[in-house]
Chains A and B, each alone.
Chain A
Amino acid sequence: MNTAPDSFSENELHAYVDGKLTPERRAEVEAFLADHPEAAAEVAAWRAQNEAIRAAFGTEPALGAQDRALVAGLSKGKKVQTRRFAIAAGFALFFLAGGGAGSLLTSALQKDAPVQIAQLLPEASKANYLIYAGERRHPVEVAASEEEHLVRWLGNRIGKTLQAPDLTAKGFSLVGGRLVPFAEKPGAMLMYENGSGDRVTVLIGVNSGHEGTAFRFSETDGVSTFYWADNGFGYAMSGAVGRETLLGLAHILYAQY
Chain B
Amino acid sequence: MSRFETDMLAILPRLKRYARSLSASHADADDLVQDCLEKAFSKRETWRGENLQGWLMTILTNLNRNRLRRAVATPPMVDYEAAGGVEAGHEESDPLARDRIAAALDRLHPDQRAVLMLVVVEGYAYGEVAAMLEIPLGTVMSRLSRARRTLAAILEGGNIVEFRRNT
**Which residue numbers of A lie inside 8 Å of B, CB to CB?**
10-11, 14-15, 18, 20, 42, 45-46, 49-50, 52-64, 66-68, 70-72, 74-75, 77, 80, 82-84, 86-87, 90, 111-114, 116-117, 119, 183-184, 214-219, 226, 243
The verdict on B132 contacting chain A, using a C-beta distance below 8 Å, is: no
A54 to B102, CA, bound (A): 11
Contact of A55 with B98 at beta-carbon distance under 8 Å, contacts A60-B17, A70-B34, A83-B27 already known:
yes
A74-B37 in contact (CB<8A) = yes
CB distance from A39 to the nearest CB of B (A): 13
CB distance from A83 to the nearest CB of B (A): 6
CB distance from B117 to the nearest CB of A (A): 7
Nearest-neighbor residue (CB-CB) of A57 within chain B: B21
Q: Which of A72, A214, A226 contacts B5 (CB 8 A)?
A: A72
The SS class assigned to the A binding surface is helix
B148-A183 in contact (CB<8A) = no
Q: Which of B34, B79, B94, B151 contacts A214 (CB 8 A)?
A: B79
A18: B residues at CB distance < 8 A: 119-120
Contact of A61 with B16 at beta-carbon distance under 8 Å, contacts A53-B117, A183-B166 already known:
yes
B5-A75 in contact (CB<8A) = yes
A80 to B80, CA, bound (A): 20
A57-B71 in contact (CB<8A) = no
A62 to B97, CA, bound (A): 22
B37-A70 in contact (CB<8A) = yes
Q: Please tell me the number of chain B residues within 8 Å of chain A, measured between CB atoms.
A: 59
CB distance from B141 to the nearest CB of A (A): 5
A49-B41 in contact (CB<8A) = no
B34-A82 in contact (CB<8A) = yes
Nearest-neighbor residue (CB-CB) of A20 within chain B: B125
Most chain A CB atoms below 10 A, which of B31, B121, B126: B121
Most chain B CB atoms below 10 A, which of A54, A90, A217: A217
A72 to B83, CA, bound (A): 24
A46 to B144, CA, bound (A): 11
A18 to B117, CA, bound (A): 12
A215 to B94, CA, bound (A): 30
A90 to B81, CA, bound (A): 9
CB distance from B101 to the nearest CB of A (A): 4
B12: A residues at CB distance < 8 A: 63, 67, 71
A114: B residues at CB distance < 8 A: 74-75, 77
Q: Which of B16-68 contact A (CB under 8 A)?
A: 16-17, 20-21, 27, 30-31, 34-35, 37-38, 41
B97-A55 in contact (CB<8A) = yes
A71-B81 in contact (CB<8A) = no
CB distance from A182 to the nearest CB of B (A): 12
B13-A60 in contact (CB<8A) = yes
